[in-house]
A = this chain, B = another copy of it.
Amino acid sequence: MKRLLRRREVSWEDPMVGAALALDLSGLDYLRAIADGRIAPPPVAVLLGMGIVDVQPGRVTFSLEIGEHLYNPIGSVHGGIFCTLLDSAMGCAVHSTLGPGQAYTTLELKVNLVKALTLNTPSVVATGQVISAGRRVVTASGQISGPDGTLYAHATTTCLAVEPRPDGRNGHGRAQPG
Contacts from A to B (Cβ < 8 Å): 1, 3-19, 22, 34, 39-44, 47-48, 68-76, 78-81, 83-88, 91, 103, 105-117, 131-132, 134, 136-137, 139, 141, 151, 154, 156, 158, 160, 172-178
Q: With A42-B78, A80-B84, A154-B156 given, name 8 new contacts (CB 8 A).
A: A6-B43, A12-B69, A15-B71, A44-B71, A76-B173, A80-B88, A112-B158, A139-B154
- Sample 20 A-B pairs with CB under 8 A, ordered by A number: A6-B11, A15-B73, A19-B73, A19-B75, A34-B73, A39-B73, A43-B70, A44-B81, A72-B175, A73-B178, A74-B174, A76-B174, A78-B84, A79-B176, A83-B87, A106-B113, A112-B131, A115-B132, A132-B151, A158-B158
The answer to whether B9 and A9 touch across the interface, beta carbons within 8 angstroms, is yes
Known: A11-B6, A34-B73, A109-B110. A115 touches B174 (CB 8 A): yes
Shortest CB-to-CB span from A160 to chain B, Å, is 7
